[in-house]
Amino acid sequence: MGEAKRKRQERETWPDTDSYRGTIDLHVLPSVAAINGARIRELTGDHTIQDSTRIILRAFRAIVGPRTLHVGFCLGDGETSSAVGIAVIERLAMEAPGAALHIVPIVHEDIAWDIVMRLLRSFTGQLLLFAFPNSDVYDAGTAPVSYSKHIRQFDPEGKQLDRLTDMQHRRILEHKAAILDRPPPPKFYATQGVEQEDTPWIFRITTPGGKTIRAAVWDGRRNYSHEMPADIVRWVGGNKIAIVQVESPVGANLRSSLQLTHQLTEDFDGVIHWARDTETFQSILRSFIRLDLDSVSPPDLADEWEPEITIIGANGSAKVTCSPDCYHSEGESGSFMMVV
């Protein structure tokens, strides 16, 4: 079966609500006088920031089909942000007080825009922030906003902005290439006062045998220390779910996360790849995106849904099958605990 035909059949089988395919409208959020140099100095504790500091925020109200969310772009690494990034977070929080902020660190320039579009189309929360480590990755993930045929931009008064022409876009790239000594990233600051959550990464995968499932990826950050949320199994659904620890990045010892997923779907209806650290997480993410696997939203599940869960230790070192009771919860967000 050809790749195009396979993907078309996948999309015909799954509901359209999994991922919006139409044009996305981005409305620039109006500036707020209270977010100024003095406020950023207060938020960061950096007394070198002047009151007169000019602040330009990339923060939008995004209309994605029937959904509305608020999205921002800044320099940062997912845990810390630039001074302007701190201001972007402050501005987004004004639009949805008390809502969790989902921060998406983007580290690979070649897939930066793909990540932005995937999450805009499938994200079901209220506040979304894309964080980039440097200006090159930032440009790769934000510049297409001004010329992509999939995006319409509007100013704060609701007037649609013109897209850049191919000639304008080419001149910008030429100007950027001519700048040899680009400045280093600015200082990053810890984000405080905003509840943060990891953004779900969920992919639709169809095996050679024709079975279609959801597979999710979780960043363990440092030796699995970053606990999974108690509701992570609801990201994938199904009656039987495998949570598999992944020790090393894709490609190490010829390892393939897609091949592993195909093997697990013989016995399971959903798979969660629990990456040992951020490097491994990013490698799985990059491989799935480069394979052009569709990013999708979590399924609609009944409140009383209780799957059978199997936890598979790294390299098959341990295997436990249990119900959701084998995890402990801590407050509303909860956490998972492996019982082996």
Question: What pLDDT is recorded for position 327?
Answer: 44
d(CA 41, CA 225): 32
Low-confidence residues in the chain, pLDDT < 70: 1-19, 53, 177, 179-182, 251-255, 314-340
Count CB atoms within 10 A of the CB of residue 315. 11
Question: What pLDDT is recorded for position 319?
Answer: 61
Question: What pLDDT is recorded for position 126?
Answer: 95
Task: Give CA 232 to chain center in angstroms.
Answer: 15
Helix extents (H) in the chain: 3-13, 37-44, 83-95, 112-122, 135-142, 166-178, 257-264, 278-290
Question: What pLDDT is recorded for position 1?
Answer: 47
> Cβ contacts of residue 66 below 8 Å, gap of 6+?
none
Question: What pLDDT is recorded for position 230?
Answer: 82
Local structure of 166: helix, strand or coil: helix
Furthest-apart CA atoms within the chain: distance in Å? 62
Here the tokens at position 72 are 């921002």
Question: What pLDDT is recorded for position 333?
Answer: 30
Count CB atoms within 10 A of the CB of residue 128. 22
Question: What pLDDT is recorded for position 185?
Answer: 78
Structure pTM?
Answer: 0.81
Q: Tokens 């869960």 map to which residue?
A: 309
d(CA 248, CA 64): 36
Question: What pLDDT is recorded for position 129?
Answer: 97
What is the bridge-based pairing of β-strands 127-132 and 151-154? unpaired
CB 256 within 8 A of CB 205: no
